[in-house]
Amino acid sequence: MSVSPPTSAGEITHVIGHKNPDADAICSAIAYAALKNARGDRGYVAARCGNSNARIDTILARFHQPLPIYLSDVTPRVRDLMVSNVISIAQDATCAEALDLIEEHDIRILPVLDAHHRFIGSVSIFQLGGFFTPKVREPKLMRQVYTRLADIARALKAKVLHLTDENTPEELYVRIGAMDIRSFGKFSDEEHIAPRQSVIIVGDRWDIQQRSIQIGVRLLVITGDLPVDDEVVELARARGVSLIVSPYDSATTAWVIRTATSIERLIDRKFVSLDADTRLADVRKKVASSPAQAFMVLADDGTLAGILTKTDILKSVKTRLVLVDHNEMTQAVTGAAEVTIAEIIDHHRLGSLTTAQPILFINEPVGSTCTIVADLYRRDNLTPTPDLAGIMMAGIISDTLNLNSPTSTAKDGDVLGWLSSLAGVDQRALAEMIFSSGSVILANTPDKIVRSDYKVYDEGGMRFAVAQVEELGFGNFWGQAKVLSSALEGLCTAEQLLFAGLLVTDINTQNSLLLVKGDADVIARITYPHVEKDEIFELAGIVSRKKQLIPYLTSLVKEMQADGTMPAAKRS
Ligand SMILES: [Mn+2]
């Protein structure tokens, strides 16, 4: 039976029931996630997309299960695709360090952070390439570096003989002292470069060394690890000229000094930032029209939460769901249509679901999803723990009104018996506990009651909803009928429904009342006996929304669509 594709390590698949969960939705999610784990499939976690209620709380407490985790929305967002362990660089780093990181991590763009880790801009391989490309028309620029002497010494792995004020960034011009002593010194006049801005690179040319110190250059670099006369060192100290020894030859030294340029002046401070919570669907438009290759995902405090490249956006999100107890997208967790549906285990009518990949889809016309899940345990020769057996019993009893609903089948009874022996729990006693676990009508506000176990159906573009509550007698309902009626009316408007109904089922007598608000033409077609005005109907022997009421309401809507009495205005 294990047809589902394996998930890679660390990935989570949520097993989740429908919105406004009932006991079966919660219990089947818990039991199916446990079955997956018992089979050795890792990472299956039970979830829910709605609030619990008194009945669910009673069941979970009885069988020691935590409430499944709450997922309000699985819509793919920037955070699902962004890279969050971003390689970044400090604002005061050198080009050499930036190039090192770019090469080591094979990346194109490096975010730059300030001392407080806030994002300020980025440097890219393109910008660095531009900086190091020789510009023969402006030789002066080719010799310019903006850096600290400490950075030069570090980049060269130089031997430091004397350094002054080495931590202040400054603009310097590099020159190799390869000319005759007679021409040396003229360069600063010709290019208007003051000696205090000059870096002279020279080998064992004692005369040039002396002269450089005399005119007061900023930094003298002796190449090739050559020894330096004590006299030169003393003179440099006396004149405040910094003096270091590079292990490289002159040409290499000049290059390395240039890479010691601070990235500060290369930082591109124009960037497109994104919020991690933004829906990917909304970001795609923004990204497609932007020339930027990468987008910075910033936290509220300005720190970098992640980076999203144009390539990342083409990937698909890793969110995977197993839907239990429903298959219609109108009833699924928000965003479900945009993520991977890995499997569906259900016992309801088929909606209009399409998937990109073939999936495991089990749909069996039995009374409860828990019946299907328990049967899967049995087929795999796996024994659920007593608590899990109890959880599945509760789902079956709740959905089939303890096997009294017309939706219940021989298989439900058979499976329930098997589970009862495993759990060591008496079916009748459990049913009593479940059905007396608090009246939904007494425990909630009218708005909550009409939304507590409510499902939206889409019939040829017509949306309608039916909520169901199970009560011991109709007394609580009659006490609230008026306010429930206006709550239903509010629901119709808020959710733009053709009509909305509340099915109140008396578990004792196995009869229901239906309160309906919405389109008058639809309500006029309902053939069940009226109890009050045109909005409360008596549905003797009707206890199943799914098997009895929905097919009836669906046929009413279809009838009106066929005979043209459905006004065009309602076809929103
Ligand atoms: Mn169910």
Supply the DSSP string of 88-117, one letter for each residue.
-EETT-BHHHHHHHHHHHT-SEEEEE-TTS
Amino acid identity, residue 368?
Answer: S
CA of 351 to the centre of ligand 1 (A): 15
pLDDT attached to residue 2: 33
CA of 537 to the centre of ligand 1 (A): 24
CA of 399 to the centre of ligand 1 (A): 6
CA of 413 to the centre of ligand 1 (A): 15
CA of 350 to the centre of ligand 1 (A): 14
Tell me what the mean pLDDT of segment 136-147 comes to: 85
CA of 395 to the centre of ligand 1 (A): 8
CA of 24 to the centre of ligand 1 (A): 5
CA of 363 to the centre of ligand 1 (A): 11
Residue 517 near residue 500, CB atoms below 8 Å: yes
Percent of residues, the chain, with pLDDT higher than 70: 96
pLDDT attached to residue 572: 45
Which of 5-9, 397-401, 515-519, 542-546 shows the lowest per-residue confidence on average (mean pLDDT)?
5-9
Identify the sign of the CA torsion 19, 22, 25, 31.
positive
Residue 342 has pLDDT above 90, yes or no: yes
Spatial distance between the Cα atoms of 349 and 351, rounded to a whole number of angstroms? 6
288 pLDDT band, cuts 50/70/90, is confident
Spatial distance between the Cα atoms of 492 and 477, rounded to a whole number of angstroms? 20
Identify the sign of the CA torsion 112, 114, 117, 118.
negative
290 pLDDT band, cuts 50/70/90, is confident
3-state helix, strand, coil in the chain (%, to 5): 40, 25, 40
Tell me what the mean pLDDT of segment 325-348 comes to: 94
CA of 530 to the centre of ligand 1 (A): 29
CA of 492 to the centre of ligand 1 (A): 24
Spatial distance between the Cα atoms of 276 and 311, rounded to a whole number of angstroms? 17
Which of 321-325, 459-463, 564-568 shows the lowest per-residue confidence on average (mean pLDDT)?
564-568
Q: What is the pLDDT of residues 4-58, one digit of tens each?
A: 444 455 689 999 999 989 999 999 999 999 999 999 999 999 999 998 988 999 9
pLDDT attached to residue 518: 94
Say yes or no: domain 440-570 is CATH 3.30.1540.10.
Answer: no
CA of 44 to the centre of ligand 1 (A): 20
Class of domain 149-261: alpha beta
CA of 458 to the centre of ligand 1 (A): 19
Q: What is the pLDDT of residues 421-454, one digit of tens each?
A: 999 999 999 998 998 887 889 888 999 999 988 9
CA of 355 to the centre of ligand 1 (A): 22
Amino acid identity, residue 65?
Answer: Q
Tell me what the mean pLDDT of segment 75-103 comes to: 92
CA of 324 to the centre of ligand 1 (A): 8
CA of 372 to the centre of ligand 1 (A): 10
User: How does the average pLDDT of the chain come out, rounded?
Assistant: 91
CA of 323 to the centre of ligand 1 (A): 12
Q: What is the pLDDT of residues 355-371, one digit of tens each?
A: 888 999 999 999 999 99
CA of 57 to the centre of ligand 1 (A): 17
Burial of 130 (0-12, 13-18, 19+ CB in 10 A): exposed
pLDDT attached to residue 415: 98
Burial of 489 (0-12, 13-18, 19+ CB in 10 A): middle
Find the helix or strand (DSSP H, E) in which 156 lies: helix 149-156
116 pLDDT band, cuts 50/70/90, is very high
Residue 447 near residue 497, CB atoms below 8 Å: no
Spatial distance between the Cα atoms of 96 and 124, rounded to a whole number of angstroms? 13
Instruction: Output the six-digit token pair for 199.
Output: 């870096």
Q: What is the pLDDT of residues 190-208, one digit of tens each?
A: 778 888 999 999 998 889 9
CA of 228 to the centre of ligand 1 (A): 89
Q: What is the model's pTM? A: 0.68
Instruction: Output the six-digit token pair for 392.
Output: 């599945």
Spatial distance between the Cα atoms of 351 and 432, rounded to a whole number of angstroms? 34
Residue 481 near residue 515, CB atoms below 8 Å: yes
Angle, helices 54-62 vs 427-435, to 10°: value is 140
CA of 25 to the centre of ligand 1 (A): 6
Amino acid identity, residue 223?
Answer: T
CA of 352 to the centre of ligand 1 (A): 18
CA of 454 to the centre of ligand 1 (A): 13
CA of 186 to the centre of ligand 1 (A): 93
Residue 135 has pLDDT above 60, yes or no: yes
pLDDT attached to residue 187: 65
CA of 286 to the centre of ligand 1 (A): 42
CA of 368 to the centre of ligand 1 (A): 5
Residue 25 near residue 326, CB atoms below 8 Å: yes
CA of 22 to the centre of ligand 1 (A): 8
Angle, helices 386-399 vs 369-379, to 10°: value is 140
Percent of residues, the chain, with pLDDT higher than 90: 70
CA of 370 to the centre of ligand 1 (A): 8
CA of 31 to the centre of ligand 1 (A): 13
Q: What is the pLDDT of residues 377-413, one digit of tens each?
A: 999 999 999 999 999 999 999 999 999 888 999 999 9
Name the phi and psi angles at 447, rounded to 5: -60, -40
In the chain, count of helices (H) and strands (E)?
A: 22, 24
Q: Indicate the domain borders of the chain.
A: 13-76+318-435, 80-130+266-314, 149-261, 440-570
Residue 3 has pLDDT above 50, yes or no: no
CA of 546 to the centre of ligand 1 (A): 9
pLDDT attached to residue 567: 61
CA of 465 to the centre of ligand 1 (A): 16
pLDDT attached to residue 5: 45
CA of 255 to the centre of ligand 1 (A): 73
CA of 390 to the centre of ligand 1 (A): 16
CA-to-CA dists, residue 50 to 18, 25, 452, angstroms: 8, 10, 9
Q: Which residue's entry shows tokens 């298989």? A: 411
CA of 470 to the centre of ligand 1 (A): 14
**Higher-confidence position of 96 and 190:** 96
Residue 244 has pLDDT above 50, yes or no: yes
Class of domain 13-76+318-435: alpha beta
CA of 348 to the centre of ligand 1 (A): 8
Architecture of domain 80-130+266-314: Roll (3.10)
CA of 369 to the centre of ligand 1 (A): 5
**Higher-confidence position of 478 and 187:** 478
CA of 27 to the centre of ligand 1 (A): 9
pLDDT attached to residue 134: 77
